[in-house]
Amino acid sequence: MKILLTGATGYIGKRLLPLLVEQGHEVICCVRDKNRFYCPIEFQSKITVIEVDFLDELSVQNIPNTIDIAYYLIHSMSGSATNYDELESLSAKNFVSNLNQTRVQQVIYLSGIVNDQALSKHLSSRKKVEDILTTGTFATTTLRAGIIVGSGSASFDIIRDLVNKLPVMITPKWLNTRCQPIAITDVLDILMRSLLNPKTFDQSFDIGGPDILTYKEMLLGFAAAKNLKRWIFTVPVMTPKLSSYWLYFVTSTSYRLASALVSSMKVEVVCNDNRINDIVQVKPMTYQQALKRALIKVDEDKVASSWKDSMISGRFNTNLSNYLKVPKKDCFIDRRKMEIIDREFTISRIWSIGGETGWYYGDWLWDLRGFIDKLYGGVGSRRGRTNRHDIHAGDALDFWRVLYANKQEGKLILFAEMKLPGEAWLEFKIIGNTLYQSATFRPNGIWGKLYWYSVVPFHGFIFKGMLQKLIY
């Protein structure tokens, strides 16, 4: 079949795409920016990539009218706009309006569990999107999930950060809220098995694993899986704002996402029934089984996708293409070069930079810069990187975003997502037998210039030391 995949660069979309291709489907991937989309060579003949902004009616017309099935995986709960619920509704309306002109038979929507009487803003928004999708001329299948447990999921990373960093936790009372977590493997399995299944048409289903746990029990369950002793005490005095800051400073999440999650974690997300399991013949794994699987993927450096690589983990909503060309005019530039000894060695070092590997020289200064950025509400450096030795355009890398990565060319361009009085790029490129390293800063007014001059003294040994470590 010809399948439309929205949210193709997101956490779920990246994992669903290879499954669809492996089953022989032709996949039309909807992305806002083609430069953020990475596709393995073996899949390129099976997919078509189109740029679509669902907030733009004209852009939505890029969708072909020959599609059979569509997956709607668009969510904006941590976007910078405070009216994200209105934007989500507009996106859904534009989507329905366009798909009504196609031959599409079914739309499969991944939403959130909305059984509690008092819903958070983001869960209410997802319910409204569901209502809009059901107005289409096609059959709609809504799958409502709570906490998704898998390597690279926001929930898994937050739980891991809290347990690994805090032996004793003084936590807000919402840790006693119940939820029904489900493994990412089971989510994908249900998404696939719902394809053109008439028993799922025009219905909504709750999807969850066999365990109903409090968030506190989930944290302690992770500690048990890692053989760690942890003590958790809940207090009633921690406000939603304080809770959001607690998550923000301890974990790798952004403040916007932390705030949205805190709001939702006060709402009980438990399945009303498990009909879908019988309909599609799926037996979801337990929470401990899901944790074990996720931990193995992390240890083996085989994380297929991460929430950190989606734009919600950063502070920019514009396309990366806008920053791809590194400017020279009105910029401060630190340029360095050195002859390379072994091209493969140098490329391997460049492609492993950041995250657990570090920056090869003056790591404590990079960490300090990330800490300062976090204090001022920036992304900090806790995002790390999804894979230790592999990066692609669009990936997050500490407080940078990968704009361009081409091993064959030996060229890597990073753009700073930290809070700055200006814009910054870090570029590595190999030409012949020489490695060129450039740090470019385009200041924003007098504060930008003062910032550059204040950090110039550190550039001399940080960038020089890093360049040498990339060679030897």
> Structure pTM?
0.89
Residue 152 pLDDT greater than 60, yes or no? yes
Out of 155-159, 416-420, 433-437, the most confident range is 433-437
Residue 383 pLDDT greater than 50, yes or no? yes
What is the C-alpha separation between 91 and 85, in angstroms, rounded? 10
Residue 367 pLDDT greater than 80, yes or no? yes
Confidence of residue 181 (pLDDT cuts 50, 70, 90): very high
Backbone angles phi, psi at 75, to 5 degrees: -140, 150
Enumerate residues 6+ apart whose C-beta is below 8 A from 344. none
Count the Cβ atoms, other than its own, within 10 Å of residue 454. Answer: 9
Q: Contact 266/83 with Cβ under 8 angstroms? A: no
Confidence of residue 137 (pLDDT cuts 50, 70, 90): very high
pLDDT (tens digit per residue) in 33-59: 888 888 778 888 889 999 998 888 888
What is the C-alpha separation between 234 and 186, in angstroms, rounded? 31
Enumerate residues 6+ apart whose C-beta is below 8 A from 131. none
pLDDT (tens digit per residue) in 120-131: 777 788 889 999
What is the C-alpha separation between 293 and 399, in angstroms, rounded? 28
For residue 142, the SS3 value is strand
Write the DSSP string, 165-180. Answer: H-SEEEEEGGGG-EE-
**115 to 25, 58, 84, 267: CA distances (angstroms):** 34, 36, 22, 9
Enumerate residues 6+ apart whose C-beta is below 8 A from 74. 6, 7, 54, 88, 91, 92, 95
Q: Contact 279/136 with Cβ under 8 angstroms? A: no
Enumerate residues 6+ apart whose C-beta is below 8 A from 76. 84, 87, 88, 91
pLDDT confidence of residue 82: 64
Residue 65 pLDDT greater than 70, yes or no? yes
**Helical H segments across 203-254, by residue range:** 215-225, 240-250
Angle subtended at Cα 252 by Cα 250 and Cα 255, rounded to the nearest 5 degrees: 80
Residue 213 pLDDT greater than 90, yes or no? yes
Residue 81 pLDDT greater than 60, yes or no? no
Confidence of residue 378 (pLDDT cuts 50, 70, 90): confident
Question: What's the rounded mean pLDDT across residues 251-259?
Answer: 79
What is the C-alpha separation between 315 and 392, in angstroms, rounded? 19
Write the DSSP string, 100-163. Answer: TTS---EEEEEEE---SSS--HHHHHHHHHHHHHTTSSSEEEEEEES-EESTT-HHHHHHHHHH
pLDDT confidence of residue 312: 66
pLDDT (tens digit per residue) in 312-348: 666 666 677 788 899 999 999 999 999 999 999 999 9
Q: What is the DSSP letter of 358?
A: B
Q: What is the DSSP letter of 35?
A: G
Residue 78 pLDDT greater than 50, yes or no? no
